[in-house]
Amino acid sequence: MAESTPSVTPRVFEHTSRKDWGRSVLVLEIPDKRTFLFEDGAERSFRPDYWHKMEIIEVQANEAVRIDRIARRNQAPAPGSTRKSKAPPKKPDITFGQQVAYFMTLYPVGFEDESYIKSERGVAGAKGREKLKDAAIERAEDLLSQKNLDELTGNRSYEEIHQMIYEFLTSTKSTTQKAEATRFKNLPEDSRETVALALRELLYGERTYPIRFDSFVAALDVEDGATWPLTTLLSALVYPADHLFVKPTFLKKQALILDIDPKYDTTPNSTTYMQFLEAAKKTMELLQEAGQRPRDLWDVHVFICKTLSPKAIKEATGVA
């Protein structure tokens, strides 16, 4: 029999030797076959002699429901079903070449442009630099280092970690909104240890990054739920060349321009994040091929945001 819908907390499974597939839910069980939907979007079936490879794992109830919902959303309608497949999202009316051309009207020297560095990265000694990207990355290298987090968690200094995260949320320009930071500040006290340990695992754990990301999201017991900026800022500051700060409105557009369907969900999740990351890394490659020199994924983030606002698309394409 198939796993029930999330009126009851779903069981969550993981393949013992293919952690890269992510977690899964059981959607079909018959005498000679079990079929699972995985977080990577794939449906996989196993014969009885492989059933032992699929182990039940413990996750928080809200995370189990999220995994079930994401998996079933990606499931194709059954034969004869009246449910229609969701129409693919519309690609923005701008090409990548037009994005680059528009960016160059803003910053004629590209990412090395003096005005770009002054407004986005920060100039040493300049007023306001402490709010910009390079200063935030420098603080993260120190405060969010494995050594510092291990020391703080070892001393059970969970309140200090909570305050440190809050300061990152409020001190980096053009990232998280004040309301997001306030909701995090008001995180229930009995959740702060869980968040601190989940952050340490997110940044330095040994499990695959998608699993660590989803665990961090599940730990954030904030009012109205965690947001994409809240869940992606810290990794992007610690690993600016490898991880991405997500403002989903813009990243959805960029992914579609590059023919990547991000399977978007308003709730942060690893499936969508990894596709956003794929889009950002592809954007970096295309920028380099176009003669640009982005330093890291923060430069890619700024490029995407500067060129994909409604005003930018209108000005870049001349289409009202």
pLDDT of 309 over the 70 cut: yes
pLDDT of 79 over the 60 cut: no
Predicted pLDDT at 138: 96
pLDDT of 43 over the 50 cut: yes
Confidence of residue 59 (pLDDT cuts 50, 70, 90): confident
Spatial distance between the Cα atoms of 154 and 53, rounded to a whole number of angstroms: 35
Predicted pLDDT at 2: 42
More confident residue, 125 or 97: 97
Token pair of 260 as six digits: 């990547």
Any idea what DSSP says for residue 127?
T
Average pLDDT score over residue span 134-146 = 96
pLDDT of 230 over the 80 cut: yes
CB 99 within 8 A of CB 303: yes
Average pLDDT score over residue span 183-209 = 93
Entry field: residues in the chain: 320
Spatial distance between the Cα atoms of 132 and 119, rounded to a whole number of angstroms: 8
Confidence of residue 208 (pLDDT cuts 50, 70, 90): confident
Residue 18's contacts (CB-CB under 8 Å, 6 or more residues apart) are none
Please return the burial class of 130, using the count of CB atoms within 10 Å of its CB with bins 0-12, 13-18 and 19+.
middle
Predicted pLDDT at 225: 84
Predicted pLDDT at 37: 86
Q: Where is average pLDDT lowest: 82-96, 179-193, 276-290? A: 82-96
C-alpha distance from residue 100 to each of 43, 103, 116, 309, 319 (Å): 38, 5, 15, 14, 17
Confidence of residue 108 (pLDDT cuts 50, 70, 90): very high
Predicted pLDDT at 224: 82
Average pLDDT score over residue span 112-132 = 92
pLDDT of 71 over the 90 cut: no
Spatial distance between the Cα atoms of 13 and 72, rounded to a whole number of angstroms: 14
The mean predicted confidence, pLDDT, of the chain is 88
Predicted pLDDT at 3: 41
| Residue 293: count of CB within 10 angstroms of its CB | 11
Share of the chain above pLDDT 70, in %: 91
Helix (H, G, I), strand (E, B) or coil at 294: coil
Average pLDDT score over residue span 5-21 = 78
Predicted pLDDT at 202: 96
Predicted pLDDT at 127: 87
pLDDT of 282 over the 50 cut: yes
pLDDT of 90 over the 90 cut: no
Confidence of residue 76 (pLDDT cuts 50, 70, 90): low
Predicted pLDDT at 6: 44
Q: What angle do CA 171, 240, 293 make, to 5 degrees?
A: 115
Share of the chain above pLDDT 90, in %: 62
